[in-house]
């Protein structure tokens, strides 16, 4: 999706390949070569289960930020538990086998980074490793993590701060960037609804614009004009809906 999404990792045990859901920005498979190693099942609020190879599924228990605190088997027995520092470091408990930890982001042990769709986050530095692609939407510090309030807010895409998944403050107006953002069970669904609506408008606009483009002697043919318009419009829709547009969906 973005510059922080890991697709491939070279490891001593073999090259690891990560497969992502392109609409929701969620890792769904991990492979080594042609062999499937892990499968991840996600819900609106984060990862729900993981299956390693042919082993039985493990099920995740989250806190108010969507951080995975425990993994249990189908009988409810505890496999491992973990506690975090405010900015996502390891406080105590098992490191565990899970790829998903603080605020539900995939964890990479080698680089000691969490990977969001658009950026990577370092809990040791309590900051993102690259600038915010949207600029100063969360303030003048474009590397800051959730405006310095990691107890209440999360950043699921690596673009802007929103209220935690199960945050009790979600019943009140959030002090971040205007209207209240409900990043609960419906956040990702709202983004997808917004994107589909926005893309529908984009298709209509590009259909007309491509005719103008051809008449003006633009790109080589109607198809090229239409494709260029649609690609640009889709990128704008993705950014708009991920940060602002979803707020207008009930």
Q: What pLDDT tens digit does each residue of the chain (250 aa) get?
A: 444 466 666 666 667 777 777 666 677 677 777 777 778 887 766 788 888 877 788 888 888 888 888 888 888 888 888 889 999 998 887 655 567 889 888 888 888 999 888 889 999 999 999 999 888 888 889 999 998 999 888 998 888 888 776 554 443 333 333 333 444 445 676 777 787 778 888 888 888 888 888 777 766 678 888 888 888 888 888 888 777 766 666 5
Answer yes or no: do 113 and 26 share one domain. yes
Tokens representing 5?
């999404």
Answer yes or no: do 13 and 117 share one domain. yes
Residue 146's pLDDT is what? 92
Does 79 reside within a domain? yes
| Inter-residue contact 163 to 152 (CB < 8 Å) | yes
Q: Identify the domain boundary among 127, 148, 168.
A: 127
Tokens representing 159?
């673009």
Residue 47 and residue 38: Cα distance in Å, rounded?
13
Answer yes or no: do 97 and 194 share one domain. no
Question: Is the Cα dihedral 112, 145, 249, 175 positive or negative?
Answer: positive
Does 22 reside within a domain? yes
Does 121 reside within a domain? yes
Q: Identify the domain boundary among 93, 111, 127.
A: 127
Does 51 reside within a domain? yes
Does 149 reside within a domain? no
Domain range for 223 is: 187-248
> 159 vs 85, 132, 172, CA distance in Å?
22, 6, 22
Answer yes or no: do 117 and 19 share one domain. yes
Count of the separate structural domains present in the chain: 2
| Inter-residue contact 143 to 127 (CB < 8 Å) | yes
Q: Whole-angstrom distance between the N-terminal and C-terminal Cα of the chain?
A: 26
């Amino acid at each position: 999706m973005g510059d922080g999404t890991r697709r491939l990792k070279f490891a001593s045990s073999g090259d690891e390949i990560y497969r992502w859901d392109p609409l929701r920005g969620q890792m769904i498979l991990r492979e080594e070569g042609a062999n499937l190693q892990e499968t991840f099942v996600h819900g609106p609020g984060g990862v729900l289960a993981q299956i390693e190879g042919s082993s039985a599924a493990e099920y995740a228990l989250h806190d108010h930020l969507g951080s995975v605190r425990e993994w249990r088997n189908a009988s409810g027995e505890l496999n491992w538990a973990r506690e975090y520092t405010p900015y996502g470091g390891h406080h105590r408990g098992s490191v565990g086998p899970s790829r998903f930890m603080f605020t539900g982001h995939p964890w990479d042990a080698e680089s000691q980074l969490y990977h969001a769709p658009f950026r990577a986050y370092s809990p040791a530095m309590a900051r993102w490793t690259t600038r915010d692609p949207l600029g100063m939407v969360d303030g003048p510090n474009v590397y800051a993590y959730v405006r310095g309030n990691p107890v209440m807010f999360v950043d699921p895409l690596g673009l802007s701060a929103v209220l935690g998944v199960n945050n009790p403050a979600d019943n009140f107006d959030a002090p971040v960037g205007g209207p209240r953002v409900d990043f609960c069970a419906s956040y990702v669904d709202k983004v997808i609804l917004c994107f589909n609506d926005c893309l529908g408008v984009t298709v209509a606009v590009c259909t007309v614009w491509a005719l103008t483009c051809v008449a003006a002697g633009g790109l080589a043919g109607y198809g090229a004009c239409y494709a260029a318009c649609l690609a640009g419009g889709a990128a704008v829709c993705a950014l708009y809906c991920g940060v602002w547009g979803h707020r207008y969906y009930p």
